[in-house]
Amino acid sequence: MELIAPNSTRVLWLDSDDRTVSSGKPFLIEQGWIVDQARNLVEAIDRISRASYDAVILDLQLPDTLGTDAWIYIRRLQPNIIGVMTTNSASLLNLIRVDAPGLTAYLRKPLPMQVVINTVTEALGKTKLIMQTIDPHIGE
């Protein structure tokens, strides 16, 4: 069983491009985050069914589905998770700006990792504030 420090941010990175993940993952780990990779929706669902994640970074073009469709499945399994959608294509980036609850950013690759870190941190802060408003004992 993996020991996880309390308050560690746990991220699932859903991208079939190992180079993208391997180049960005060290920046997230440096923040104290736990980062798992899934290369397709099937792997992502398997991981999400076994662990709780705070955020998912997902590519728009996956081997087995579109990232927008994957997001729907992910949110059904973990409704409070936040997401960052990524793509290599500037034209696709303009097309995917849909109103999807929990998706906090749409970023073009190569990913500016400090922007990813800031976006996820800010979104998680807002989520925690909302949850504490509902239940003041959350986070104690």
Q: Is 76 helix (H, G, I), strand (E, B) or coil?
A: helix
CA 35, CA 11: separation in Å to the nearest integer? Answer: 5
Q: Which residue has the tokens 């960052």?
A: 84
Would 2 be classed as within a structural domain? no
Q: Is residue 1 part of a domain?
A: no
**CB-CB contact of 71 with 103 (8 Å):** yes
User: Would residue 55 count as lying in a domain?
Assistant: yes
Which regions of 1-120 does DSSP assign to beta strands (E)?
A: 10-14, 34-38, 55-59, 82-87, 103-108
Residues of the domain holding 75: 10-134
For residue 127, give the nearest of 28, 53, 50, 60 by alpha carbon.
Answer: 53
Provide the residue-wise pLDDT of the chain in tens; the chain has 140 residues: 344 445 689 999 999 999 999 999 999 999 999 999 999 999 999 999 999 999 999 999 999 999 989 999 999 999 999 999 998 887 665 556 556 788 888 888 999 999 999 999 998 887 554 444 445 554 55
